[in-house]
Structures are given as C-alpha cells and as structure tokens.
Amino acid sequence: MIHRIRIAFKKFRYMVEALSGIMPGISDRQVRAMQAYQKSMGKIQDVEVLLARLEKFVKREDVTEGLLSSFRRNMLSRRASLVKRFLASGRSGFYLAVTKEGEVGAGDAFKRLARDAHEVPVSEITRLYIAKSYKNADLAMVRRLLNVSAVPEDWKSYFRDRIDPTGA
C-alpha cells in the first residue's frame, strides 16, 4: 500500500516542483517537506524489498534458519518503527486525479469536479488503520469508508476484516 502511495506522490511532487516557480503559494519549505515524506516512504519500501529477497534466499539456498533469524527480527522491528513514524506523521497522502491532460500555467484554476457522498478524509483512514480498537463512532466511519468508490478493494477488505474477523 505504501509503495503505491509513494509512486503516486512522487509524480505529484515532481509536478509541484516543476510548477513551484510559476505557481504562488508553493514554498521551498513545502517542497523539502514533500521530499522528506517521499524519502520516509522509500525507507519502508527498501525494508520490504529486503525482507522479500531474504525469504526467497532462505527458501532457495537451504540456509539454516538460525543464522538469519536475528537479522530478520531486526528488519521486522525496523519496518514496524518506520511504519509507525510514517503513520504518526499524519501525512499519509491525499488523492487527486487528472481528468484531462494538458498544460498548467500560472494562475490556472484547480477545481473539484466530483465529491463522493461517503467521503472520508485520508487522515481519518490512517487513524482507523493504526487504531488498536474501534469505538462505535469508528465503526460507523469504517462502514462509511467501505462505501467510498475510490477506496481500493484490498483496503476495503482490510477494514472489513477489522470490524468482522469471522467474515460473517
């Protein structure tokens, strides 16, 4: 999930950087914050790739499990720490779509074309994702989230499992 967000955010960041000289309201500080945000997502992805390669290596090379268990625990702990920091930042992303390709210039307007009746802020989705348990209001928000058409099916499946682990 973080990798997909990182790729989408990278494209957005490049667009913002390209427009920063002609678009008012984009500061160097904001661009640096975007770079740091993308870098933190990259660190998480690096650990994910390393863990996946380690698993393949262990299976393929008939390596004694004990030799790598300490390294694996270290990587899992690092991943947990990076994800926790990333989610705690409250800057886990936002979504937009380009409906018609073209050129953007100084003073051009951006406008929202549609709004989902069930919309849930990304910050709220992140909070629900990391919450250890749900209160009644949280359950209502998760049910609302399940009706948002833009939320990917694998995310919906995660939240369905959280509110009903039996799948009933």
Q: What does each of the 168 residues of the chain score in pLDDT, given as a tens digit?
A: 667 777 777 887 888 787 777 766 777 888 888 888 888 888 888 888 888 888 888 777 766 667 677 888 888 888 888 877 777 776 665 555 667 777 877 677 767 677 778 888 877 887 888 788 899 999 999 999 999 887 888 889 999 999 987 766
CA separation for the pair 161, 159 (Å, rounded): 5
Question: What pLDDT was estimated at residue 23?
Answer: 67
Question: What pLDDT was estimated at residue 134?
Answer: 92
CA separation for the pair 152, 30 (Å, rounded): 28
CA separation for the pair 147, 116 (Å, rounded): 9
Question: What pLDDT was estimated at residue 146?
Answer: 93
Is 0.75 surpassed by the pTM of this model? no
Question: What pLDDT was estimated at residue 95?
Answer: 56
CA separation for the pair 144, 117 (Å, rounded): 9
